[in-house]
Structure 1
Amino acid sequence: MYSYEDRIRAVTLDIKLGKRTGATIRQLGYPTKNSLKSWHEEYERRLDLLSGYVRSKPKYSQIQKEQAVKHYAEHGRCIASTVKALGYPCRDLLRAWIDELDPDSRQRVVGRAVSAPRPPQMKKQAVLELCTREGSAQAVAQKLGVSRPTLYNWKNQLLGREAPASMKQTNQSPHAQERDELERQVEALRREVRQLRLEQDLLNKANELLKKGLGVDLQLLSNREKTLLIDALKEHYGLPKLLGQLGLARSSYFYHRARAAVGDRYLCARRAITDIFESDHRCYGYRRLQASLTRQQVNISEKVVQRLMRQERLVAPKSKKRRYASYQGEISPAPENIINRDFQAAASNEKWLTDITEFQIPGGKVYLSPIIDCFDGMVMSWTIGTSPDAELVNTMLDAAIETVTDTADRPVVHSDRGGHYRRPGWISRMRDANFTRSMSRKACSPDNAACEGFFGWLKNELFYPQDWKSVTLAQFIEAVDNYSRWYNEKRIKISLWALSPIEYRVSLGLAA
């Protein structure tokens, strides 16, 4: 039984890991999945756990038990009719009550059960005694408690029908050569029996230790698994024989034994990787995880991080195709494509990118309109709404203009050919702020690839991995807003020396 502290620690860690039962049990080493699930349900129901285990009260009283047994005795001693008449209990429980209160009233049928199958070890020993006997086969069968045909059937199963059933020496054999031949045959049979015994023991140990089926191919096991089998059986068989049977080199065996003795050298790194992955929207790949570990003074290679991620089943989301398109036709003249896919900027507020993306959840549709600075990928401003109208983009532009404090900064604002960026409100704001307009070619999303990349990260890291069925529009808008702030403040980028955009600007003295 686990103490209160053990149970509350398991529930707390399970909540922290997002109800990932397997990861919780691997970290703590306890309990079972069903126990953890029941503790979690109790914690959600009571907001706490009971200090000790409470024994449940019996479902049926003593009076009910006596009434059920009495009804059984007075109505034909039929268990089925008693359960049907009273409505309780189940048949097995009623039988137990009858055995307890009136054991002599039960009607019993005595029969002979089918004999249980003989264990393989007994069969091998029986065949060995049959082949090396001095007396008759009937005497061997009587000694083992089986019939003579059964004894010969076991011999045919293990050795085949061509193998002789008797290797005993007879007084009728006058020649020493024949006697020597019989002795060699006996020795060959003994070797075969020992080989069969070894193979059976290996299969049993593989089933017991590795949870493999009895029909597993031992040659397909990994070297580490073969080492475990050899350690379990080396007291009964010689090491060379086990190594030859499993096809394992002697050096490989001692190598895996040494590794097992050292233990998990990456235990601390494994826990740190899991914590970072869970706290950062489960979106970091091995490169950003390795950079985060370096910031925590944990120095391991990217290949080790990849291996630990595979072992902990930490999978970063993959990109998916976008759906929303805001193109409404040529409603006004389009400006020149000044950016021309050159998304590199030597300073902040030099090149800005903007676009609109759509999120569709059961509660409705939500639209995000951000402005991205090409200098470091920072989101300068953003608006989130339920309609992709002109107010959505104009409000975002007004907020972005307020961030430009230096009069010398006049960025080029690049967008696609959506109707929002060709209306009088957008054009007048750009002209008043002395900003330069730039537009992609028609139906050419790569011309605005850096902004599309931000949308891809947002959806792969926040939107696609989660289930939004029970989330309202207001809650979803808040989640997108929180992600945008996290993206600027905490989400590291390898291209920025493993810093977030705000941390990068602070390191350059561009922000306080």
Structure 2
Amino acid sequence: MPEIQRRHTADFKKNAVLLSYQRKNVFETATELEITPKLLSKWRGIYRKYKEGSFPGGGKKRIYYEDSEIFESEKRLAESKLKLVILREGIKLKALGKQALYNFIYQNKKRYPIGIMCEVLGVSSSMYNLKIQYPLSKREMQVSLFKDAITSVFYEFKQYHGCVLIARELCKRGVDISEDQVTFFMKQLGLKRKVKKKYKVTTDSKHKLFISPNILNRQFTTDKPSKVWVSDITYLQIERRFLYLTVIIDLFDRKIVGWNLSSMLSTNTTIIPAWNMAISNRKVLDGLVFHSDRGTQYANKLFTSTLNKYRCIQSMSRKGNSIDNAVSESFFNSLKRELIYSQKTLLPPKEMREEIFDYIENWYNKKRRHSALKYKTIEEFNAEI
């Protein structure tokens, strides 16, 4: 019985031609579409000449396509769009190393041309073929997985974590790895935690306002929430001026319960808004110790009367002794090292506010591991209570 000849629609022919241009391989495309390479080549020749008028349907005349430059431009545009799609999907794997890119190419070889994926992702096609033909040994695979996991966590936490925190984070995720192994692999990978920088002190303690004694006396641990809050103010440089960040931290779980970012240093624009946020987030207990430095924002009558209203006990650091408020100082140290100093240019006010919100609410209060909490996140620490 003679074989029945297949009839192909105009859309099928056009899509077959376009797919062959993306794949850059007529034989591969024809095989996938279950047609002969000769037939596909014929359709390509027709499309090159007539473009959109190539397949008008039975009894209709083809429209001659004269402008080959437009045709080539559209061809290059289609290829550029394909490269962009590949780049968007594969770029996030670059930080995980070459093996992760090889795996991506292998998993998507039926969707995109291998050559284009290698070109876009910056890997050698010959090396890719070698890795596929000769896969890693069990030991090499384990090392590769360790390196990929370390690199992933390192960049997930924006290069803030050193070997100790990365090891603890990976162990929490079920990866059996030691701190020494993380240190060794980080050296091999060239991963270095962002370095610490100094910052200026902005406290104005030269005043004749009321000064409270140092009730806290460097006792930086408590056994329940809202027993001791500590607070401080620092400056953040932005385009052409400064913003001032005020924070209130509960020593129980190191959570920032209140904060405010302002363009002025008055009490009404710094500690009062931060206090209002704090009391909306946590109940104030009688006898709560509120510790700060001797700045005018904390020593003036407006704020001291606010503390008295809530039956709080005010405590202040000794003059010129930043260690008395070490927890607040440590937070600002981390903030500036992990966020501010990583910025290559000064941010406008709106972007700085967005960055500070993200750092405090999404990173510090939720995902960051604190040594004071035995390297747990604040949420993990409170969940165990």
Q: TM-score, normalised by structure 2?
A: 0.65
Who is 2:63 aligned against? none
- 1:472 equivalent to 2:325? Answer no
Higher-Rg structure is 1
- Structure 1 CA distance for aligned equivalents of residues 139 and 324 of structure 2: 54
- Structure 2 CA distance for aligned equivalents of residues 451 and 343 of structure 1: 11
Give the letter for the 2:162 counterpart: G
Give the letter for the 2:263 counterpart: T
- Structure 2 CA distance for aligned equivalents of residues 267 and 347 of structure 1: 44
Who is 1:347 aligned against? 224
Deviation at 1:13, TM superposition (A): 3.8
Mark the CA change 1:260 to 1:505 in structure 2 (over 3 Å): closer, same or farther: closer
Is the 2:232–2:248 contact (alpha carbons within 8 Å) kept by the matching residues of 1?
yes
Mark the CA change 1:262 to 1:396 in structure 2 (over 3 Å): closer, same or farther: closer
- 1:394 equivalent to 2:254? Answer no
- Structure 1 CA distance for aligned equivalents of residues 151 and 83 of structure 2: 21
Mark the CA change 1:51 to 1:443 in structure 2 (over 3 Å): closer, same or farther: same
- Structure 2 CA distance for aligned equivalents of residues 431 and 25 of structure 1: 61
Give the letter for the 1:301 counterpart: S
Question: 1:291 aligned to 168, 187, 196, which one?
Answer: 168
* Cα offsets for 1:333-357 (capped at 9, x unmatched): 2111011112121222111110001
- 1:418 equivalent to 2:287? Answer no
Give the letter for the 2:317 counterpart: S
- 1:482 equivalent to 2:358? Answer yes
Is the 1:410–1:434 contact (alpha carbons within 8 Å) kept by the matching residues of 2?
yes
Mark the CA change 1:363 to 1:507 in structure 2 (over 3 Å): closer, same or farther: farther
- 1:28 equivalent to 2:105? Answer no
Deviation at 1:429, TM superposition (A): 0.5
- Structure 1 CA distance for aligned equivalents of residues 244 and 98 of structure 2: 40
Deviation at 1:359, TM superposition (A): 1.1
Who is 1:237 aligned against? none
Is the 1:367–1:384 contact (alpha carbons within 8 Å) kept by the matching residues of 2?
yes
Deviation at 1:497, TM superposition (A): 4.0
Which deviates more, 408-417 or 449-458? 408-417
- Structure 1 CA distance for aligned equivalents of residues 322 and 115 of structure 2: 62
Give the letter for the 2:306 counterpart: R
- Structure 2 CA distance for aligned equivalents of residues 50 and 338 of structure 1: 70
Deviation at 1:468, TM superposition (A): 3.1
Deviation at 1:286, TM superposition (A): 1.0
- Structure 2 CA distance for aligned equivalents of residues 318 and 350 of structure 1: 33
Q: Unpaired runs of 5+ in structure 2?
A: 1-20, 24-78, 105-111, 117-135
- Structure 2 CA distance for aligned equivalents of residues 425 and 405 of structure 1: 21
Mark the CA change 1:409 to 1:487 in structure 2 (over 3 Å): closer, same or farther: farther
Give the letter for the 1:304 counterpart: Q
Superposed, which structure 2 residues align to 1:182-221 within 5 Å?
none
- Structure 1 CA distance for aligned equivalents of residues 162 and 150 of structure 2: 10
- Structure 1 CA distance for aligned equivalents of residues 265 and 98 of structure 2: 46
Deviation at 1:362, TM superposition (A): 3.0
- Structure 2 CA distance for aligned equivalents of residues 429 and 478 of structure 1: 29
Deviation at 1:432, TM superposition (A): 0.4
Mark the CA change 1:366 to 1:493 in structure 2 (over 3 Å): closer, same or farther: same
- Provide the alpha-carbon RMSD of the alignment: 3.1
Deviation at 1:414, TM superposition (A): 0.6
Deviation at 1:52, TM superposition (A): 9.9
- Structure 2 CA distance for aligned equivalents of residues 261 and 389 of structure 1: 63
Give the letter for the 1:343 counterpart: F
Mark the CA change 1:262 to 1:373 in structure 2 (over 3 Å): closer, same or farther: closer
- Structure 2 CA distance for aligned equivalents of residues 490 and 322 of structure 1: 25
Mark the CA change 1:404 to 1:410 in structure 2 (over 3 Å): closer, same or farther: farther
Who is 1:439 aligned against? 316
- Structure 1 CA distance for aligned equivalents of residues 286 and 321 of structure 2: 28
Q: Percent identity?
A: 28
Question: 2:187 aligned to 306, 310, 314, which one?
Answer: 310
Deviation at 1:377, TM superposition (A): 1.1
Is the 1:320–1:460 contact (alpha carbons within 8 Å) kept by the matching residues of 2?
yes
Who is 1:498 aligned against? 375
- Structure 2 CA distance for aligned equivalents of residues 431 and 348 of structure 1: 19
Give the match's secondary structure for 1:263: helix
Who is 1:327 aligned against? 204
Is the 1:349–1:409 contact (alpha carbons within 8 Å) kept by the matching residues of 2?
no
Is the 1:369–1:382 contact (alpha carbons within 8 Å) kept by the matching residues of 2?
yes
Give the match's secondary structure for 1:466: coil
Who is 1:452 aligned against? 329
Who is 1:372 aligned against? 249
Superposed, which structure 2 residues align to 1:38-437 within 5 Å?
262-391=139-268, 392-405=270-283, 408-437=285-314
Give the letter for the 1:286 counterpart: C
- Structure 1 CA distance for aligned equivalents of residues 205 and 181 of structure 2: 50
* Cα offsets for 1:254-289 (capped at 9, x unmatched): xxxxx9894242212211222212121220111111
* Cα offsets for 1:271-311 (capped at 9, x unmatched): 12222121212201111111111121101110101111122
- Structure 2 CA distance for aligned equivalents of residues 271 and 51 of structure 1: 23
Is the 1:287–1:494 contact (alpha carbons within 8 Å) kept by the matching residues of 2?
no
- Structure 1 CA distance for aligned equivalents of residues 88 and 351 of structure 2: 26
Q: TM-score, normalised by structure 1?
A: 0.50
Give the match's secondary structure for 2:155: helix
Which deviates more, 435-444 or 315-324? 315-324
Give the letter for the 1:371 counterpart: I
- Structure 2 CA distance for aligned equivalents of residues 507 and 30 of structure 1: 39
- Structure 1 CA distance for aligned equivalents of residues 216 and 288 of structure 2: 11
Is the 1:492–1:500 contact (alpha carbons within 8 Å) kept by the matching residues of 2?
yes
- Structure 2 CA distance for aligned equivalents of residues 459 and 260 of structure 1: 43
- Structure 2 CA distance for aligned equivalents of residues 293 and 468 of structure 1: 33
Q: Using CA pairs under 8 Å that are at least 6 residues apart, name the structure with larger relative contact order, 1 or 2.
A: 2
Is the 2:210–2:300 contact (alpha carbons within 8 Å) kept by the matching residues of 1?
no
Give the match's secondary structure for 1:352: strand
Deviation at 1:318, TM superposition (A): 2.2
Q: Unpaired runs of 5+ in structure 1?
A: 32-48, 54-258
